[in-house]
Chains A and B, each alone.
Chain A
Amino acid sequence: MEATHIEEKEQQWTEVIRPKTSLFDLRLREVWQYRDLLWMFVTRDFIATYKQTILGPTWFFIQPVLTAVTYSIIFGGIAGIATDGLPRMLFYISGITVWTYFADSLTKTSNVFITNAKIFGKVYFPRLIMPLSIITSGLIKLGIQMLLFLAVWGYYLANGEPIALQWQVVLLPLLIGISALLALGLGMIISSLTTKYRDLAQLLTFSIQLWMYATPVIYPSSRIKGTSFAWVNEYNPVAPIVEAFRYMFTGVGTYSWQGLVYSASVALIILAIGTLIFNKVEKSFMDTV
């Protein structure tokens, strides 16, 4: 309205909206300021999920139980795939619990821009909050499903199955942390790409299904060791996580430090790439969607 007659000092301004900020400016402090929002998205997801279904929170149990039963019949009974000597139910449910958390988190974070386009277009908050809240929501579901797993595990333990808790079980949080970060990183990369290519979302559902077969969920790692397919498990960063989880609770399975270090390194590299891409896309995506 009027020409500036006073030279303002820069520090006077508390906020400056500029065209492009650096690629590495992640504004993590801002994410921390919005931590209450993260928690509220988590509760919203939880309440909304169980209010909209007839069976409520019991749905969290029914899904893995039915899947485990189906696998026991098809892969165990009909196909006769060995389970490293573990009872079939215990074997499958342990794999399903870990895999489901990873697969769910990945699917949901991959769609974060598309599902939230409306809210992102109306109000600003650090976009990183959304994928973070998805990963955290998944943890609650995982916690509930862990109870189911522990019940099954306790049942077999009481029935004198030769299974034993290993000291490595203290690494369980680390195990879950690795799968969370891996899903988060990969999800952020894919979600950034889906802003340009919508059909990636369909490809993803399919790919995750295939990925499960490359992971020792329905077969033990030992079963393909030495075969020409062994590389499938060796390069798959989720494989050591599933195997280690089984080993921690039963003492059966392939467990190695190297495997976990490999998974963790892959997770961290992907997370770094994902954060950078996500950070770049979040600034301009409203103009391209």
Chain B
Amino acid sequence: MSNVVIKAENLSKQYRLGEVGTGTIQHDLKRWWYKVRGKEDPFLKIGETNDRTQKGASEFVWALKDINFEIEQGDVVGIIGRNGAGKSTLLKILSKTTLPTTGCIKAKGRIASLLEVGTGFHPELTGRDNIFLNGAILGMTKKEIKRKFDEIVDFSGVERYIDTPVKRYSSGMYVRLAFGVAAHLESEILIVDEVLAVGDAEFQKKAIGKMQDVSTDEGRTVLFVSHNMAAVKQLCNVGMLLENGTIKTSGKINTVLDAYVQRDETINPVYINNNFENEIIAVYAIKVLDKNFQLVNQHFHNECFYVNVSYKFKQPTQKIYFSIHIHDSELQTIIFSRDFEKDESFLGLREEGEYELNIRIPAILAPGKYNISLHISHAEPPRIMQGFDHICNFEIVPAVTNQKTASFIMRGKVIADLSWEVTRKPITLT
């Protein structure tokens, strides 16, 4: 007998664009009234024509197309892929928040999904109440939560504040408690999205350790989506690479990661975004520019460069921050920084309107190929609002500063301004 616990058969998900509704009765009536009089639909966007020949091509989008896979018990599966590859859609279907258009997924055992830490946490309730509430939302009965209660509190390390409303918790405590509840779910299959992107290093280590225990000791199956390639590599034994809604590669995690990395070789320092679904922010473009704000593919190792982001806040907002990762070609993170680290006022109110952000990257990267990830996150509770991963490939090339050293190959990832001091000193052996 095979040990397959999840099986997807011809799974597809189609989203319909265009006539998703104008949102109000008033608009729909207006649209109907224009139609009756034989006029053009006033709510069609510019560029969208109602041409019959194009309709089939433009109105529907396949987020997932004909996906087939099998996952065996105890596997820790890393699901990777770029933005829009279909990862979130697959997770949504697995967690039953949306239904597939065709095909099906069969599973053995309970599926618990953790698409966000602390779903349903209420700030006014105490830590204790929130454990019960969150556990119940995730599908546990009161009895099960009671049995696991001490373990959860122990894991999250908040016993002193367990009867304090969680609105007084630090964001670290909040995340630990929320993850603690989810990690102690008694489900045979656990789906985890992005939770490791928040929280401090110690928490991440703890969380990865817990997920490893869950799969090796308890024989549970874990599906893990993350942009943290180091975590995927460490945690997962098999992987699945999605691209444009289909499975590009699957199998041993290292093979899949290699396939993913290889895709990144083409140099393209511009990323144009065309997904403006987010209610708060619309990011238009992300570019890597040189010290004179020119778009080039290559930068000299001894010159600074800029990451340029153009975006719009659709409404006034606060307690959000931008963060940037610069990865090398093996997707290891070389530089990570958040806007509020030097200036906490970034966490304050941000007016609505259009903006341009320039992040100055000093000349510290060694020659090689790099790419960036840009995340816009909520600070409390910590949650990525919008993420762009492994985009804007660019190259750092050695600058010829000195004819004599030009022929030396530069090694390492970063260039540090070291000083080499030599003094004449007799050696005394004791």
List residues of A whose CB falls within 8 A of some B CB.
1-2, 4, 6, 8, 12-20, 33-34, 36-37, 40-41, 43-44, 47-48, 51-52, 119-125, 196-200, 283-284, 286-288
Contact = CB atoms under 8 A, between A and B. Distances in A.
B142 interface: yes
A197 B28 contact: yes
Nearest to B2: A6
B25 A19 contact: no
A120, A121, A283: most-surrounded residue (chain B CB, <10 A)? A121
Contact of A15 (B92, B99, B100, B106): B106
A19 B102 contact: yes
Interface in B200-259: 250-251
A274 B86 CA distance: 34
Q: How large is the interface on B (under 10, 10 to 19, 20 to 34, 35 or more residues)?
A: 35 or more
Interface in B243-284: 250-251
Contacts of A1: 69-70, 250-251
Contacts of A125: 137, 139
B353 interface: no
B162 interface: no
Contacts of A4: 70
Given A37-B137, A199-B24, A199-B25, A13 B124 contact: no
Contacts of B115: 122-123
Given A119-B137, A198-B24, A288-B21, A52 B98 contact: no
A17 B122 contact: no
Nearest to B98: A286
A20 to B, nearest CB: 7
A282 to B, nearest CB: 10
Nearest to A285: B98
B95 A123 contact: yes
Contacts of B132: 40
Contacts of A14: 107-110
13 contacts: A1-B70, A1-B250, A6-B1, A14-B108, A17-B96, A17-B99, A20-B99, A41-B133, A44-B133, A121-B97, A122-B95, A122-B119, A198-B23
A19 B104 contact: yes
Contacts of A123: 95, 97, 113, 115, 119-120, 137-138
A19 B101 contact: yes
B110 to A, nearest CB: 8
Contacts of B165: 51
Closest 5 CB pairs of A and B: A124-B96, A37-B136, A13-B106, A199-B24, A17-B105
B25, B69, B95, B137: most-surrounded residue (chain A CB, <10 A)? B137
A44 B137 CA distance: 12
B129 interface: yes
A283 B96 CA distance: 9
Contacts of A13: 7, 106-108
B289 interface: no
B331 interface: no
Given A17-B100, A19-B101, A122-B119, 4 more contacts: A44-B125, A44-B129, A122-B95, A198-B23
Nearest to B138: A123
A18 B21 contact: no
B107 A15 contact: yes
Given A15-B107, A18-B104, A124 B113 contact: yes
B242 to A, nearest CB: 14
Given A44-B133, A119-B119, A199-B24, A16 B104 contact: yes
A47 B120 CA distance: 15
B111 interface: yes
B20 A18 contact: no
A122 B193 CA distance: 11
A48 B121 CA distance: 12
Interface in B21-56: 21, 23-26, 28
A287 B15 contact: yes
